[in-house]
Amino acid sequence: MAGSRVEEAVRLFESGFNCAQSVFGAYADLFGMDKEEALKLTSPMGAGMGRMREVCGTVSAMALLSGLADGNSDPKDVARKTEIYQRVRDMSDEFAAANGSIICRELLGILGREKSAQPSERTKDYYAKRPCVKFVRCAAEIVEKTLVPEAKV
């Protein structure tokens, strides 16, 4: 795919940004948000939101990008709300079909919430045993297919 930003999302993750920051940060500028603002906004969403291991940060990033791309700003526009909700469901379903879940702890085989909010140290061993880069890549590919026509990338 010409102009793909999938590798940028992976590069951000491998440089130490969390999963949500990596996906969101690779595309936010296409929707008028500067990178630093994008990284700050999504910083709490990593590791299933605050390391609680709930919805995968990459899935949260897809939802947020969907809102930037074509979100609803009129509380009375039910049809528009329905459209954005359906898009988020479709993207999440595609992610789940590829990975088995959209829940961080299920994706990582972790039982329950982490006891600590302290992020894991990013070492060679961390990257070797964690499948998160695969999830970053998958979410970025879904973003490109769904939200970013090639002409915009």
| Percentage of residues of the chain with pLDDT beyond 90 | 82
Residue 69 backbone dihedrals phi, psi, to 5 degrees? -70, -40
Residue scoring higher pLDDT (153 or 106): 106
- Across the chain, what does the average pLDDT equal? 93
**114 φ, ψ to 5°?**
-65, 145
The radius of gyration of the chain's CA atoms, rounded to the nearest angstrom, is 15
Residue 151 above 60 pLDDT? no
Residue 150 clears pLDDT 70, i.e. is over it = no
- Assess contact for 136 and 19: CB atoms under 8 A: yes
Mean pLDDT of 11-30: 97
Angle 51-64-141 (CA atoms, 0-180°, nearest 5)? 90
